[in-house]
Amino acid sequence: MIKSLSKPFKWFFQLEAASGLVLLIAAIIALYVSNSNFSSLYFDTLNTYLFIGINSFGLKLSVLHWINDLLMAIFFFFVTLEIKREFIQGELSNFKKALLPIIAAVGGMVIPALFYIVINFGNSETLNGWAIPSATDIAFSLGILSLLGSRVPISLKIFLTALAIIDDLGAILIIAFFYSGDLSVSYLSLILVSYISLLILNKLGIKRFLPYLIIGSFMWFFTFKSGIHATIAGVLLASIIPHRIKTKDFSLLIKLEHAISPYVAFMIMPIFAFANAGVSLTGLSFSSLLQPVPLGILLGLFIGKQVGVMIFSFIAVKSGVAEMPDNSNWFSLYGVSILTGIGFTMSLFVGNLAFMENTEYMDGVKIGVLAGSLLSTLFGYFLLLLSSKK
């Protein structure tokens, strides 16, 4: 029984370890290209506008916007499939087991945001980036944890997975409520009609994805035009994909999750990392990190994340509300809490939304995210390596 239940986790962790490495390579290439003789080509290509559509029905966006609005909608579709499955029959379906990662995730979102707010207090423009250090990159963090293999108990990997999923859910809510523009009632109505149509497909028991995809594509267009960020369309579409708890029942959700996971891990996320991690390092000095935006992000990710996750976890366990992960101790749990500071792709994504109107802060966002994620990676990995030898 235990062996059969652990198979999906083993497959998942192997995938995340590989995808985390690919993400790292994509970021390194982006940094190299953006600081080489190809830097002009790199930035000019990302700012090139492409029209996709038929005649007047379509959108003309820059390459960077297509990546951040369309490809990331697919990513959030995949993430929401994971969240839905976890709440229906995964680790988050058991309330007692789910409490610790849920509480820890809340701490890991609130405390980093407070770090950023304190440092940027009084500046209304930079204060808009408060949510940037609240995000955790699930692929990168699990990839680093998976490098330690059997030296880290499976319970801690499950804990980090559940925490990162809750973290992603928090990011989705933040994007929907805080980073949306002026709303269009007509397009919001069309989103509602689309969603009701999707619900009807679900109730009719339609097991083919094509009808969902067609309606979902229109819903993405309506969402983009509505003022809500287009990635929310991916969330809405995934929320109505049918899933059956009984193992003998056909689950379109599981079929889709397994089908698109390699494309998300090895294509969509690396493309996003390559397009968003590039930053000119010309003139970069230690003082650059002391600017309010990068410093707030750096401290939020590296200090705020571990403090928030650890303190909230400690209070939850000591008060008897939640239980410690099996075969773990406070030292190893602290190592995992440091890894939650690997914001990378999710933090970069939120940063793009936060400073959409003030792009002059984006270099600072990238520097802060890369520095905070790097420190969290190094300290978290070596602390867990040390704890496994005890």
Q: Helix (H, G, I), strand (E, B), or coil: what is residue 37? A: coil
pLDDT in tens, 317-345: 999 898 888 888 899 999 999 999 998 88
pLDDT at residue 21, as a whole number: 79
What percent of the chain stands above pLDDT 90? Answer: 44
- Identity (one letter) of the amino acid at 251? S
CA 313, 375, 118, 359 torsion: positive or negative? Answer: negative
- Chain centre distance of CA 234: 13
pLDDT category, 311, cuts 50, 70, 90? very high
Helices (H), the chain: 2-33, 39-46, 63-66, 72-89, 95-120, 124-127, 138-146, 154-178, 185-203, 209-226, 231-239, 252-263, 269-276, 292-299, 305-318, 330-339, 344-354, 362-388
Q: 219 pLDDT exceeds 80?
A: yes
pTM above 0.85, yes or no: no
Question: Out of 11-25, 142-156, 225-239, 376-390, which region has the weakest mean confidence (pLDDT)?
Answer: 11-25
pLDDT at residue 162, as a whole number: 84
C-alpha distances in angstroms, 81 versus 66, 132, 310? 22, 23, 28
Q: 183 pLDDT exceeds 90?
A: no
pLDDT at residue 172, as a whole number: 80
> Among all chains, which residue has been given the structure tokens 């009084």?
122
Contact 120, 130 (CB under 8 A): yes
pLDDT category, 217, cuts 50, 70, 90? very high
pLDDT at residue 114, as a whole number: 96
Contact 86, 92 (CB under 8 A): yes
pLDDT in tens, 157-174: 888 888 888 888 888 888
pLDDT category, 373, cuts 50, 70, 90? very high
pLDDT at residue 129, as a whole number: 92
In the chain, what's the furthest Cα-to-Cα distance? 66
pLDDT at residue 32, as a whole number: 92
* Residue environment code for 288-312, b if the CB has 16+ CB neighbours within 10 A, otherwise e: bbebbbbbbbbbbbbbbbbbbbbeb
Provide mean pLDDT across the span 17-21. Answer: 73
Query: What domains can you pick out in the chain, each with its CATH number?
Result: 2-180+229-388 (1.20.1530.10)
Provide mean pLDDT across the span 64-75. Answer: 90
DSSP 217-230: HHHHHHHHHHTS-T
**49 phi and psi, to 5 degrees?**
-90, 135
pLDDT at residue 281, as a whole number: 77
Contact 73, 233 (CB under 8 A): yes
Q: What are the residues whose beta carbons fall under 8 Å from the beta carbon of 199, sequence distance 6 or more?
A: 240
Q: For 179, which DSSP code?
A: S
pLDDT at residue 1, as a whole number: 44
Tokens of 74: 């697919």
- Chain centre distance of CA 336: 17
pLDDT in tens, 280-290: 777 667 777 88
Provide mean pLDDT across the span 23-47. Answer: 90
Tokens of 280: 């000119």
Cα gap 126→355, rounded to integer Å = 8
Q: What are the residues whose beta carbons fall under 8 Å from the beta carbon of 187, sequence distance 6 or more?
A: 222, 223, 225, 226, 227
By DSSP bridging, strand 49-54 and strand 57-62 are: antiparallel
